[in-house]
Amino acid sequence: MEPKERLTRTFAGKTIDRPPVLCPGGMMAVSARGIMARAGFSGRDAHCDPEKMAAIAERIAGISGFENVGVPFCMTVEAESFGARVDLGDIEREPAVTRYPCASLADFARLSPAEPEKHGRLPVLLEALRLLKKSNPHLPIMGNLVGPISLATSLVEPTTFFRAMRREAGTVHEILAFITDFLVRLGRAQFAAGADLITVADPTSTGEILGPMFFKEFAKPYLERLCRGLEQGGRPVIVHICGNARLIAPAISDINPLAAFSFDSLVNVARLKEQMGSLVLMGNVSTAVLEKGSPELVRKIARICLARGVEILAPACGISPATPLANIRALTGAVAGT
Amino acid sequence: MGEKQEILQQLAQAVVEMDEEAAVTVAEQAFRVGIDPYEAITDGLTVGMGIVNEKFENEEYFVPEILLCADAMYAGLEVLRPHLKIEAASHHARVVIGVVEGDTHDIGKNLVKMMLETAALEVYDLGRNVPLHDFVDKALEIDAQMICLSTLMTTTMDGMKKVVDILEEKGVRDRFVVMVGGGPISQTFADSIGADGYAANAAAAVRKANELIENMVTA
């Protein structure tokens, strides 16, 4: 079975020969330095040059055994397109926002919506997707988006935004609607450029920060609005949220349409399975085990995840640069190897 | 209940209810009726923050609530602090805190910092993405008792070990207790790098900090 067909059948709940193994881009890009060095990653041009971005994404898939290509390699393209200052980092450090464009919630009113074909590195991302579409017919191409709350808290100091959830709920809703509508446009542009599916990573909306009540009020409606907005074309959208998903699982299982939910290693899969019903689960091989464990242990953990109900095997979160290549291959080899 | 008890309780309540204005009004009242400002802080505001801690651990309060409770506490503190007698304020332990180099996520660190301040520790915040040597330099400069290291990323965990190593190299390891925390950090990791303590969340961090500093003083 070809990786694309296998993945499509997995989302549709049809029979497959074995589970797919994926690694999204964004914060979950395969940033292990052993792989990045081999793939020709040389720092900033991997983030700024579409040809390099596409070529590196393809080489990463070849070296690692992951059954998809994913771009970009950071979670900063969206914030940067709204004027956030970004430090592009190096092979050890992923790009990070170093200055927020908004000092207060009122400043959001001054932001003009970023345009996918025009602002910051968004055109780089879209061009990389077009190049991948041309050169890469057999692996699924994964586009990536930062979730609404994670993007909002990349544009203003997060604690300012969290306080406002209680004090200025109306303004918070307006901001999230504005941001979500931008993400819908960027996601559609990614689909149009060639993405076969999109992963939305929303680490800051974790239930451990917001709690179940605020997740339901401020995170869920906009994740749903985003998924709905991307629905045309029928291409799948995966949502990844870090931390313990126990408290927010009921709200997530309610999001429609959602192709799969990707989650962290501290989540009890069997229990989540009960809470999520028929939603496809993706994850959740511990990144600590990937970094420090033996290939044997990685294979064992991967099999445990699958036995407990994970349907798409994937790292639980962003991979450490120190992760040995042998461990990544053990992860992908746990399903694809023999 | 006496007037004093009632006022102390109202101070705690203002914090728990995230009511900044009430915290200021009641703190002013406390001063007016002659309650010792130190007592108003420790038996009023800090008691309130203790309740907030419990609510956080019981998953009743989350980060937005904690931030607003702390705002109320700081508002009350600002009224009372200028009236503190010097001796009462001067023997607080000093703590250096920051997010290790390579990581710019500082929500967790900010929460821990706030909680430590509410427990009357003197906190020097180095911010985020902090060069590893800065932790040691600052701790030596201000003669701190404790160094708190935070990271949310697996990619930057090794920086914590390097800070401990720098302390060893300089022969000053014994002068400080080192506490680590953040998403990927565990007790096992803390033990493996030779840190003195680990805390899973901001509430636990306060307890652990007090315990570590107390052991250090009595050792």
What are chain A's domains?
A: 3-336 (3.20.20.210)
Q: Which domain holds residue B82?
A: 3-88
> Which of B88, B116, B149 is where one domain is finished?
B88
In 3D, which of B199, B153, B91, B133 has the Cα closest to residue A288? B153
Same domain (yes/no): B77, B101: no
Same domain (yes/no): B115, B179: yes
Domain count across chain B: 2
Residue contact B110–A322, C-beta within 8 A? no
Of B59, B129, B154, the CB nearest to A320: B154
What is the per-residue burial (b if ≥16 Cβ within 10 Å, else e) of A64-81?
Answer: bbbbbbbbbbbbbbbbbb
Same domain (yes/no): B211, B122: yes
Chain B residue numbers with beta carbons less than 8 Å from the beta carbon of A211 are 59, 61-65
Asked whether the beta carbons of A126 and A54 are under 8 A apart, the reply is no
Residue pLDDT tens, chain A, 338 long: 999 999 999 999 999 999 999 998 877 788 788 888 888 887 788 999 999 999 999 999 999 999 999 999 999 999 999 999 999 988 777 888 989 999 999 999 999 999 999 999 999 999 999 999 999 778 999 999 999 999 999 999 999 999 999 999 999 999 999 999 999 999 999 999 999 999 999 999 998 899 999 999 999 999 999 999 999 768 999 999 988 898 999 999 999 899 999 998 888 899 999 999 889 999 999 988 998 899 999 999 999 999 999 999 999 988 877 889 999 999 999 998 64
Same domain (yes/no): B124, B170: yes
Q: What residues contact A141, with CB distance under 8 A and at least 6 apart?
A: A68, A69, A70, A129, A132, A133, A194, A195, A196, A197
CB atoms within 10 A of CB B204: 18
Alpha carbon of B157: minimum distance to chain A alpha carbons (Å): 9
CB-based contact, A97 to chain B, within 8 Å = yes
Same domain (yes/no): B56, B116: no
Same domain (yes/no): B145, B168: yes
Same domain (yes/no): B13, B116: no
Residues B75 and A254: their CA atoms lie apart, in Å, by 40
CB-based contact, B129 to chain A, within 8 Å = yes
> Which of B31, B54, B88 is where one domain is finished?
B88
Same domain (yes/no): B9, B27: yes
CATH code, B25: 1.10.1240.10
| ipTM score for this prediction | 0.89
CATH code, B105: 3.40.50.280
Residue contact B154–A288, C-beta within 8 A? yes
Same domain (yes/no): B110, B208: yes
The residue to which tokens 């000092």 are assigned: A103
Query: How is chain B split among helix, strand and coil, in percent rounded to 5?
Result: 65, 10, 25
Confidence of residue B82 (pLDDT cuts 50, 70, 90): confident
